[in-house]
Amino acid sequence: MKKLILIGSVVIISLALLFTGCTAPPPADCPEPDSSKITASSGTPGTGGMMIGGAAGAVEPGATVTVTDGDGHTATTTADENGSFVLTELDLPEDFDHTIGNTLSVTQKSEGCNESPAVNVPITQ
């Protein structure tokens, strides 16, 4: 009799959860990239053009990193196992902003979390 009551209780609770829409909570946002470890240099034709890079620990290892200029042009790369990344002139869209003094926004997305809030990184020479 005790087993029957226990089984009945489990079934009732399971049905209640199913019909009340109880689901797992949504994933949290990824942490912001560490802007102190990210640089954006406009470069010159002699240096190979623009370079955007994050030192080790700038983002989560394996994260998808998205860099966006003020006009909405984006470039995406994947961080290495140390959380560093590099985008070169060849990785950027043709109309990507190279203007010294303007800022780029950088976000990251890793497995198990939503895209992070953006951090701003100034374009330097």
Task: Tell me whether residue 25 is in a domain.
Answer: no
Task: Tell me whether residue 95 is in a domain.
Answer: yes
- What mean pLDDT value characterizes the chain? 86
Task: Tell me whether residue 76 is in a domain.
Answer: yes
Task: Tell me whether residue 6 is in a domain.
Answer: no
Per residue in 7-65, pLDDT tens?
545 445 554 545 556 566 778 989 999 999 999 999 877 777 999 999 999 999 999 99
Task: Say which CATH number the domain at 118 has.
Answer: 2.60.40.10
Task: Tell me whether residue 12 is in a domain.
Answer: no
Q: Is 40 exposed, middle or buried (0-12, 13-18, 19+ CB in 10 A)?
A: buried
Count CB atoms within 10 A of the CB of residue 106: 25
Give the whole-angstrom CA distance, residue 40 versus residue 38: 7
Q: Whole-structure pTM over 0.85, yes or no?
A: no
The three-class DSSP label of residue 36 is helix
Q: Which domain holds residue 60?
A: 35-124
What is the C-alpha end-to-end distance of the chain, expressed in Å?
79
Task: Tell me whether residue 58 is in a domain.
Answer: yes
> Residue 80's pLDDT is what?
98
Q: How confident is the model at residue 6 (pLDDT cuts 50, 70, 90)?
A: very low
Domain count, the chain: 1
Give the whole-angstrom CA distance, residue 102 versus residue 125: 11
